[in-house]
Structure 1
Amino acid sequence: MPPPVGGTAAPAVLARLQLLITRRLDGLLQGEYLGLLPGPGSEAGESRAYHPGDDVRRMDWPVTARTTVPHVRLTEADRELETWLAVDLSASLEFGTAQCLKRDLALAAAAAVTHLTVRGGNRVGAVVARGSGPPRRLPARPGRRSAQGLLRTIASPDTPPGEVDLAALIDSLHRPPRRRGLAVVISDFLAPAEQWRRPLRKLAARHDVLAIEVLDPRELSLPDVGVLELLDPESGATVEVQTADPRLRERYAAAAAAQRGEIEAALRRAGAAHLRLRTDSDWLADIVRFVAARRHARSSGAARGAGLDREVT
């Protein structure tokens, strides 16, 4: 189990993160994939017959019209990738009851994406939002030195009060328009899904989108510890609850499960890949399993498509 990230922005913490990520994850991205999210790339390639499960956004309409048979356009793996991070660092991430804060987990996720994509001329940029103030835009630049500067900005401990407008943060990745790349949204997604679902769907229509959700186990269930005073870090409001009441704990767990189910469904309908990281689990192992599962699913789909093509011919 990797040690917790820690709540400091010291260069030693970032160096430690880079070492952990390089040791555990570096080998995952060898071969045709140049980003954390295995995908088909964006350079146009050949066409082949459509089969169930193909992305309809890649339909090759000219070939389909000529042959009267649905075709999809295959794509080549990019030799250069531009990745943009949308990092939500609202006050709600200053919470954690396990191995680290949610904010530390967000930094770890950003470090993993950054260190594993800033290679071979790849560029990484970020839009970082804290509290109710305007988000800070860090232009996409190549090189590890620029990546370290980006992570130092994300690791800054200054978190003013207020709620981050997640929809506006996601929408900021559209401006200015960019060629197809990878967009990574890191948040706890506690804002109502109806606020950010549409901007995320719009983003996924042009880019490969990875949504990294960070959460703490106490957001899913309450412990039986008697009277508990809870503070909303964004509004400053406090409330006392009697956690010894089993019906209260059951209602809380049901409401939390419904909320997480709504988040998962919204991300799925938007077309985003979904990676959930918890403060009480091995976040590096979770990333490894996620990348491996995505690769297995894509390779299985490609194999099925090849088999169908052979049957047709």
Structure 2
Amino acid sequence: MTSPVRRPADTPSDRTEAVLSRLQLLVTRKLDGLLQGDYAGLLPGPGSEAGESREYRPGDDVRRMDWPVTARTTMPHVRRTVADRELETWLAVDLSASLDFGTGRWLKRDVVVAAAAALTHLTVRGGNRIGAVIGSGGGTSAPARRWRGAPPVPGPDVFTRVPARSGRKEAQGLLRAIAGTEIRPGRSDLGTLVDMLNRPPRRRGVAVVISDFLAPTDRWARPLRKLRVRHDVLAIEVVDPRELELPDVGVLPVVDPETGGLHEVQTADPLLRHRYAEAAAAQRAEISAALRGAGAAHLRLRTDRDWLLDMVRFVAAQRHARTRGTTR
């Protein structure tokens, strides 16, 4: 009779479960009570069920004009809508090699998983469904495996789809799939990852894209605009402070996690640090402009800050804007 195989106590699966348990406790404590009152999700959108009409106010969406009432009253009116009682949320989670980096309190990957945990908690509370598509870069080609020390060579992109389901058990399974995804060398095609949320067509809901958005904007801006036509879109940008500025620490060896290339940077040069900061600011401005042009709500989370507090402030700002009527 063979005895059952016992798994070591400190396996990656055990560590993942421990991290998810701590995240669940942290998220539950800080976000409980945030959704009191009328039903609303993380992005309190206008909903799709028709409600009453009211007079037009500056800032209202002209696409919701109620033309029959406007014609009868000779005053412009808009049709108010009621929030859907059953919301479907989809996450596009980018786990490219550039996310396996961090110099703050967490790795960028950790912030991605934490943001997904908070979104999942906010979604499943009302019995809503949540699903995800996960991009983890390419595999490693055979030549890179054959010669020890050779830089990794990206292979085909790897995408995983987790069907949208309701319930806490299913939500935990989704988080395990995200947290347990192996980060491979190379960068995922963010445009393809976003476009996977457009296929097959779904009823109106919420689409959340979590990434560092370091891929060229022309590769993902158009799919994001297409996604915004049908869904409320939230873009969560994950940033590390070293991606914004360099410290003065002398010669700094830098490894590109996507290609394996090694570079030595003389950070003692103030001109180099200044040029780096300028280039980083220009890059972030371009990302922000592309997200704004796509009509997506933009939330930036940093590895050196309290990401949960930033999410709470973002949700509070969205709710405040809605109560003032600026999002209807």
Q: Do the aligned residues in 1 keep the contact of 2:59 with 2:326 (CA within 8 Å)?
A: no
Q: Tell me the equivalent position of 2:190.
A: 166
- Give the whole-Å Cα distance in 2 for the aligned partners of 1:20 and 1:212: 19
Q: Tell me the equivalent position of 2:202.
A: 178
Q: Tell me the equivalent position of 1:14.
A: 20
Instruction: Give the TM-score normalised by structure 1.
Output: 0.90
Q: Tell me the equivalent position of 1:230.
A: 254
Q: Tell me the equivalent position of 1:127.
A: 133
What's the offset of the Cα at 1:302? 5.6
Q: Tell me the equivalent position of 1:287.
A: 311
User: What pairs up with 1:58-97 in 2 under 5 angstroms?
Assistant: 58-61=64-67, 63=69, 70-97=76-103
Q: Tell me the equivalent position of 1:218.
A: 242
What's the offset of the Cα at 1:31? 1.6
* Structure 2: gaps of 5 or more residues: 1-11, 139-156
Q: Tell me the equivalent position of 2:34.
A: 28
What's the offset of the Cα at 1:64? 5.1
How many residue pairs get aligned? The number is 299
Q: Does 1:50 align with 2:56?
A: yes
What's the offset of the Cα at 1:103? 0.3
- One-letter code of the match for 2:324? S
Q: Tell me the equivalent position of 1:310.
A: none
User: What pairs up with 1:121-270 in 2 under 5 angstroms?
Assistant: 121-132=127-138, 133-270=157-294
Q: Do the aligned residues in 1 keep the contact of 2:39 with 2:85 (CA within 8 Å)?
A: no
What's the offset of the Cα at 1:47? 2.6
What's the offset of the Cα at 1:288? 0.9
User: SS where residue 169 of structure 1 aligns?
Assistant: helix
Q: Tell me the equivalent position of 2:143.
A: none
The structure number with the bigger radius of gyration is 2
- Give the whole-Å Cα distance in 2 for the aligned partners of 1:288 and 1:160: 32
- Give the whole-Å Cα distance in 1 for the aligned partners of 2:256 and 2:283: 17
Q: Tell me the equivalent position of 1:107.
A: 113
Choose between structure 1 and 2: higher helix proportion: 1
What's the offset of the Cα at 1:58? 3.0
- Give the whole-Å Cα distance in 2 for the aligned partners of 1:231 and 1:42: 48
What's the offset of the Cα at 1:44? 1.8
Q: Do the aligned residues in 1 keep the contact of 2:252 with 2:264 (CA within 8 Å)?
A: yes
Q: Tell me the equivalent position of 1:311.
A: none
Q: Do the aligned residues in 1 keep the contact of 2:90 with 2:208 (CA within 8 Å)?
A: yes
Q: Tell me the equivalent position of 2:9.
A: none
What CA deviation, in whole Å up to 9, does each residue of 1:133-182 have, x standing for no partner?
23111000010000000000100151111111111111110111111111
- Give the whole-Å Cα distance in 1 for the aligned partners of 2:201 and 2:75: 33
Instruction: Give the TM-score normalised by structure 2.
Output: 0.86
- Give the whole-Å Cα distance in 1 for the aligned partners of 2:259 and 2:65: 47
Q: Do the aligned residues in 2 keep the contact of 1:231 with 1:238 (CA within 8 Å)?
A: yes
- Give the whole-Å Cα distance in 2 for the aligned partners of 1:149 and 1:165: 25
What's the offset of the Cα at 1:199? 1.0
Q: Measured at CA, do residues 277 and 158 of structure 1 come closer, stay the same or move farther in structure 2, by a change above 3 Å?
A: same
